[in-house]
Each structure stands twice: as C-alpha cells, then as structure tokens.
Structure 1
Amino acid sequence: MNQHSYIANGLGGKDGVIVIDMRNFQSITVDDSAGTAVIQAGNRLGDIVTALAAHGKGLPHGTCPYVGFGGHAVFGGFGFTSRLWGLTVDATLAVDVVLANGTITTASEAQNPDLFFAMRGSGSSFGIATAFTVRTFPAPPTATIFSYNWQFTAQGAADALAVYQNFVLSAPLPPSFGAEIVITRGNVQGNVSIGLAGGWYAPVDQLNATLGPFLAQMPIPHSESFDTGDYLHSATNLAGGSLNTMAQPDNTDTFYAKSLMTPEGAPMSAQALQAFMNVVANEGFTTETGWFFQAELFGGKNSAINAVPTGATAFSRRDSLFTIQFYASSPGSVPPYPQSGFTFLDDVVNSIVHNSPVDWDYGAYTNYVDDRLVDWQQRYYATNYPRLRSLKDAYDPRGTFAFPTSVQE
C-alpha cells in the first residue's frame, strides 16, 4: 500500500483492510556505468540520498528523510531539483509489481506499458510496487539552499505574490532554480509573513543574477540566508540537519492538509491573491491551529516537470505553475483535530477558487492526498482518469487494491 499518505492510506485508510509491511525491501543497487539504480520500495528518502551520493548521483524527490519511497514514487515525488530533473515518476524506468491475481511482473515502456503509465501517478490502485529502476543524475558539484523573509500587510502580501508570479512566468528561469513561497502567520493581525526558500544547483555567484529582477521589485528582506556546499550537504540541510532514518523521529503531528495546483495558462488573479491574503492575515492569525503554506514552483520556462506530456504518465497536472500545500496542525500537535482547522483550510482554498473563473481548471497533488476532496478524480487525474478506470478493470477487476481515493473499478 501507499507509504506516503496524509490520510493514513499506508495503514489501509479504513478499518478491516490488509496492510502489507514493506520495511524489509531495503536494497539499493547502483549501476554506475548505466547511470541507473534499483531501489526497493521499503527504503526511506534519507537512505536513498546517502546511497546515491556515495556514487556521485542524485534523484528528484522530497526532502523529509523518513518518507517511504514506495508511496512517494508512485504518486509524484517533488523536490527542489524537480525543475532540473523532473518528478520521481519521471525518473522511473521500470517498476516491479505484484498484481491483484498474485503474479509478479515488470512494468516499463517496453513491457506492460499501460501498467507502467498507471504506476507512475496512481500506482497503489494497481499493485504492490516492490522495486523501482530509476535514472540517476550526476550530483551538482555545488548547491546553495537559500531563503529570504518579509513581513507584509495583506495588501502588500498580495502584491508581493503577484510580483513573484509574474517573475516566474516571464523570466526564463534556469532549471537549476527550485523554490517555494512559504506563507506563515504574521507578527500582528492583518499581517502575513512571506518567505522565499529554495535550492540553487549551479555556482552560487549566478544566483544573484537570477533572483535580481525579482528582488529589485521587493522591499529589503527582514532576513536572508545562504548555505552553500556539495549536493549531499544541501540535501542534509533540507532534511533538517540529518539524513539518519534509524533514529526515532523527533515529533509526531495531528494535522490536516489540502493542496491546489494552479494552471500556468491561467495564473491566480489579483482578486484571488487579495482574497487569499485577507483570509491568511485575519483568520490565519486568530486560528487555534499551527499552520504553514508552501507554494512550490512546478512550472515556468525550462521546467522539466512540465516538459512531460500530460498523457505520458498517470500524473496529469503537467501544466501547473504552483502546487500549494496548505498544512495546519492541531493545538500542541495532539488529537483531536479541531473542526475549526478544517474550516480554516477550506476558507483559504475557497478564497482562491471562488475568486477565479468558474471553469478554472485547477488541480490537486496526490502526494498531499485529501479524502475530503469531493471531486478528487478530476483534481488529481483530470483527463487521465477515464483511462485509469479502464486499466483498473483490466488489472484489478475485483478491487483488491481499494482505499480512500483509489481509482475505482
């Protein structure tokens, strides 16, 4: 089952289901001459970074070291190298799969290509992935993790987001630029904290030239930071200082998350951005939840994510500019999760959607899975969903692999 699930699909997602423990599938074999690796599904991201770095290689994926690779890899897999290297699904060359009828097969472009399509974006609905053959990438000799932070009024924050959105749409940003806007509670009601954080996978002296046009339109930041080293150092930084997955995680959380993928061809309007920041500056200040929002840059010119055709993989939202994660924790991060937390995140997302065109074709990100999303078939899979339904009938007609938000047979 899915090892990367905000709604506990990795534990079945509901009572009365069978859960298969993949923790012993932890082999990583690197083929230096072919530039590939075979990664079993039970590995965690921290171990994969360390193993590949020993060969001078990297792979696009997220930053949290404890995330299990199997679920992460079959639903997307975004990180700051994704504009350079694509998503994890795009680096996948083959998947070993246990099917619903008990047979073991391999899915690739040459073998079971329909299944290969499905496994790259909706894999848990079609089988148990046991191993992935992936393309690896030469690790950049230098990488810089950077951040800038500002305090704005709601109007100032909306203006700043508009400046940034125009910047990433109009500038031919190098693929070595990966970034996200981080939105957090303001210092007083009516204010919003805005950060720009990211990874730069080229010589650091070229970063200023890339960000210069954006920073020239912004006020002087309240703070900024730069951490330059080799690729392994950058991954360690993003992991919070350690890639060790043997230690017990330092905390747990009770949270709810939503997502919204904004179409590059129809960016967020000034009206939507203003409504968004008004909710953040006011309801976001008074809410009892702890929260953060991240607007991850998927698109823009030169993005490897959006260079892949929509129908090439089950991951369909290839025309997205931003993927925004809206994440809120219960008070003290302990159960129960308050109803007000659901209301707050619904209000935030609705502030954007309801101030956009009626036919605005926004998406949602499957690795931020949300079982309260009513129209998840359209938001996650768009035009690919009918094909997935047909393939579900072929590969899992009895619905063996069923969980909340699974493709329906």
Structure 2
Amino acid sequence: MSCLQKNRVEFIAQGDAKYNELSTPYNTRIRTRPRIIITPNRVSDIQYAVVCAQREGFKVQPRAGGHSYAGYSTGDANTLIIDLRYISNVEYDPRSRKAFAFGGARLGNLGLKLGADGKAISHGDCPGVGLAGHSLHGGFGYTSRMWGLSTDHILSMKVVTATGDLVSASPKLNSDLFYAMKGAGDSFGIAVEFELKTRTVPDKVLRFIFDLARYSRDAKRMADVFVNVQACVQSRSFGDNYGLTIRLATDAFRVAGYFYGKEADFQRTMLPCLSKAAPVTITIEEQSFSRSLSSIAGDAPLRRFIDAPGAKSNFYAKSVMIPEQRPLNKAQMQDYFRTVLEAGARVPNQFVITFRLMGGTGSHVKKDYGDTSIPWRDTLWIAQHDGQTQRNPRDVARAITAMNDQLEGSIQRNVATYFMFPPFIDPDLTREESHKMYLGDEHSRRLQRIKTKWDPTNVFSNPQSVQLERRR
C-alpha cells in the first residue's frame, strides 16, 4: 500500500508478525483473511486510510471490540480493517454529567470509568465488546428496560466519512448521518468519538436466580413457566427496573436477572409470578452496581487491556424477536419446547437458548429517543439460539436452525412483520433478507438514499451492508 506508506500510516499485511492474531475473528467458525489491517493511534491515520482505500479500490470496515458473529469486523481479501484499539480513552465531565468515549472504548473500561463517579449508560453483558459496534447496532442489556438502548445515550458523534473527512453528527448537525449511524453504522463511516448522556447508578441491585432444572425435560411445564412469566411482565404491577432472562440448556432451565430496586418491591412483583413453578432453589443476592456488571459478565474482570488476546469461540447462532402486541401462547411454546428437546437430544451439552426480556410494562426501549434506524423497539422477547460447533458442527447447525425455525414459524402465524436481532448477526441471511429482518423495509429505503449521499462509492461495505439507492 504505497498510499499508506506515503502518508506514514503503519499497516499489517499477511505474513507480518501480528497478522494472524489480528485477523482471527471472534467466531472461529468463520474464516477471514483481510487484505490490510491498521491499528492507528491518531484520527488522522484513519482519515488517510479511508482515502487510500478509495484510491486502491479496497473496502473498509471498522473494528472496535471485534465481536461480529459473522466476522464482518475482520473482513475479507478486499477489505482494509481499521482496528480502533489504541483510540479508546473514556472521560467523564461532572459539570455536564456527560461522558466522552473514543471509538475503540470497551464496555468494561467504560463501566469502570463512569462507575467511579456513580454514573453509567445502558449496555450489554461482555466487558470486551466495543462500544462503537455495540451501540451503533442498538446495544441492549439488563438496564435497557430502565434506561433505553445504548444507542439512546449517544448525544453526538464524530465520524470519518467515505471522503476521509471528519464530521460531527447529531440531531441538529448532519442529522441524516446521525440517524443512519444509529442502527447501521458500519455502512456509513467510522465513529471515532461519542458524546454520551449518563445515568446515576442505583444504590442497590438484586441478582435473582430461580432454578427450574427439574422441568428441563418437560415441554408442558416449561411452557407453563414461560407464559406465567410473560403474563407477569405485561401486567400493570411490573416495572421498568427489571432485567430478566429465561435460559434453557441440557438439563438446565432457569429464570434469572437483576432487579434495580428494593427487595420488598421485588418480593411483591416477582415471586408471585413463579409461585406455581416450585423452583428447586431461589437465590437472591444484593450487589453494588459495579459488582453487578462483573456478575452479568460471568464474574469476568471489567478492565480490558489493549493488547490482551481476546476470547474466541466456535459457534453457530440464530435469533428471532417476539413482538409485544402478539406474544406466543402456551400451545405455541409447548410445541417449541418439544422441538428444543428433540433437536437438543442430538447435540447434548452443545446448545444454550436465552430469552431476553426487552419489552413488558414500562420498558424504556419503546420510548421515543429521537430518530434512529432501529425498527424493532416494540419487541417483547429476544430469543437467542447458540450452539457450540467445535465438534459435529453440521449436527449443531441443524439443531439450532430447527429450534429457531419452530419459534419463527409461530411468530409468522401471529404477525405479518417481525425482526431478528442485529447484534446476533446471522451470516446465512442474504443481503436482502438481512435488511428486511434487521432494518425493515421503510428504514432500508431511507438508508439507501443516505448511503448514496454519504458513501457514493460504497467504500464501507460487508456482505450485509446497506447498498446504494437503485437508479430508476
């Protein structure tokens, strides 16, 4: 890359010492070999790199944490990857109560920095995930029902565009780019800095686990539990201060989560929902907010070191979102759990299913936080099907697909329009299918017009990225 050399931008190519480490995707089932990788420590290097990619005919993809399920943040043979790990500082301004985070910031480091001042934003589970990729595709976590999505905390951002220019985007400045970045950011530019509103952390957090493993092979009882919890979260007494999941694996079934309030309120609102289920054990633990972030991450440390090797996994995943207005009934869930038991029996101990509560009474995900290219706010549950594929990968893929298809079929019989969750991106979808399932038809058409304006040569591209508007 003579253009990069001329502008004194260091790069890594195949054969270089760090290439294999930096080119291996988070999901090792995916094979990627990007043409060039840069790890800049100056925004100007990013600008030069984008211009050089244009001249050389390469596509560009940013990488913050590198956790794309499909490996899109690692690219292919015609892609220049811009790894933002060295542009990752986080600062908090106590006067304005705003945070300022650079594009490579990791969620764990962000949580630690803001937590020192008793502040936070809504975000997901894993400390090593990058703020940029996470928030620019929504960003959902246990506090989202209380505070909104991660993307809803973005007040403005600085973006390197396809021309190599550094521009500001906000609801009042380049508002069309701001809208596009908040939902489909990897198709439009590289977000190098965020201005974020923050929240005051709650005084206490209750972690709760209802162990229902005794029902893990009983489709009828699991369906009973599911619909009882579902009715509870849609009842008037339920509040926005719950983050809740229902999780199923081989010989495991549980309802668990975090309550951001007083134990008396938890006992009043949650325990009656599961009184008929007779859980084997009930665990309730009081935690600080900071401790809850680590607990959510499986007790992993929040601090992420810049050059520490990232965790890898070999997996196959699919998701589907259950709309709020037409939740699934007991018969539909019983049929689904039968399918799970049948398909799961062929791949024991190689799958995990998680239903994440997004909606329900009081959920702030449904609030109007301004113009974003996110169509799936009116969702009750995110259903995530994960399969470990280190061994018998085809069998695992078939089992995961059967489980997801059964649930999706029931949703299709209830509603005409539903979505899939873009952070759990599925590389099996075609570009057209991904646009329909992640962005929706209306947003897709609008995004194509904006793409034509801001990236007319389609430099920011991957197999499911937004394409240019078709000329009539």
Q: What is the TM-score with the length of structure 2 in the denominator? A: 0.80
Q: What is the CA–CA distance in structure 2 between the aligned matches of 1:356 and 1:72, rounded to whole Å?
A: 26
Matches within 5 A, 1:4-43: 4-12=67-75, 14-43=76-105
Higher relative contact order (CA 8 A, sep 6+): 1
Do residues 377 (structure 1) and 440 (structure 2) align? no
Q: Deviations over 1:57-102 (max 9, x none)?
A: 0110012111111111110111111011111101110111000011
Matches within 5 A, 1:1-400: 1-2=62-63, 3-12=66-75, 14-150=76-212, 151-152=214-215, 153-186=218-251, 193-216=252-275, 218-241=276-299, 242-246=301-305, 248=308, 252-287=312-347, 290-308=350-368, 312-331=371-390, 338-358=393-413, 359-374=415-430, 375-382=433-440, 383-400=442-459
Residue 169 of structure 2 aligns to a residue whose secondary structure is: strand
Contact 2:87 2:102 in 1 (8 A): yes
Q: CA deviation at 1:288?
A: 5.6
Q: Deviations over 1:209-261 (max 9, x none)?
A: 12033022x32212222221221111121122221323956953100111111
Q: Deviations over 1:34-63 (max 9, x none)?
A: 111011111111111100001110110012
Query: Amino acid of the residue matched to residue 89 of structure 1?
Result: T
Contact 2:159 2:169 in 1 (8 A): yes
Structure 1 residues 250 and 130, CA, compared in 2 at 3 Å: closer, same or farther? closer
Q: CA deviation at 1:129?
A: 0.6
What RMSD, in angstroms, separates the aligned Cα atoms of the two structures?
Answer: 1.8
Q: CA deviation at 1:373?
A: 2.5
Query: Amino acid of the residue matched to residue 404 of structure 2?
Result: V
Q: Deviations over 1:3-24 (max 9, x none)?
A: 4311111102x33211011011
Find the counterpart in structure 2 of residue 189 from structure 1. Answer: none
Q: What is the CA–CA distance in structure 1 between the aligned matches of 2:417 and 2:248, rounded to whole Å?
A: 23
**Runs of 4 or more off by more than 6 Å in structure 1?**
none
Q: What is the CA–CA distance in structure 2 between the aligned matches of 1:109 and 1:404, rounded to whole Å?
A: 29
| Deviates most, 177-186 or 223-232 | 223-232
| Deviates most, 171-180 or 36-45 | 171-180
Contact 1:179 1:297 in 2 (8 A): yes
Q: What is the CA–CA distance in structure 1 between the aligned matches of 2:269 and 2:144, rounded to whole Å?
A: 17
Structure 1 residues 143 and 344, CA, compared in 2 at 3 Å: closer, same or farther? same
Residue 73 of structure 2 aligns to a residue whose secondary structure is: helix
Contact 1:290 1:331 in 2 (8 A): no
Residue 82 of structure 2 aligns to a residue whose secondary structure is: coil
Q: CA deviation at 1:357?
A: 4.1
Q: What is the CA–CA distance in structure 1 between the aligned matches of 2:199 and 2:162, rounded to whole Å?
A: 33
Query: Amino acid of the residue matched to residue 282 of structure 1?
Result: E
Query: Amino acid of the residue matched to residue 377 of structure 1?
Result: H
Structure 1 residues 340 and 352, CA, compared in 2 at 3 Å: closer, same or farther? same
Query: Amino acid of the residue matched to residue 193 of structure 2?
Result: A
| Deviates most, 123-132 or 268-277 | 268-277
Residue 384 of structure 2 aligns to a residue whose secondary structure is: strand
Contact 2:225 2:274 in 1 (8 A): no
Q: What is the CA–CA distance in structure 1 between the aligned matches of 2:429 and 2:192, rounded to whole Å?
A: 29
| Deviates most, 44-53 or 341-350 | 341-350
Contact 1:275 1:355 in 2 (8 A): no
Q: CA deviation at 1:331?
A: 3.8
Structure 1 residues 166 and 349, CA, compared in 2 at 3 Å: closer, same or farther? same
Find the counterpart in structure 2 of residue 405 from structure 1. Answer: 464
Gaps in structure 2 of 5+ consecutive residues: 1-61
Contact 1:60 1:81 in 2 (8 A): yes
How many aligned positions are there?
Answer: 396
Contact 2:352 2:385 in 1 (8 A): yes
Q: Deviations over 1:126-158 (max 9, x none)?
A: 000101111100011111121112132011112
Q: What is the CA–CA distance in structure 2 between the aligned matches of 1:90 and 1:23, rounded to whole Å?
A: 23
Q: What is the CA–CA distance in structure 2 between the aligned matches of 1:379 and 1:289, rounded to whole Å?
A: 29
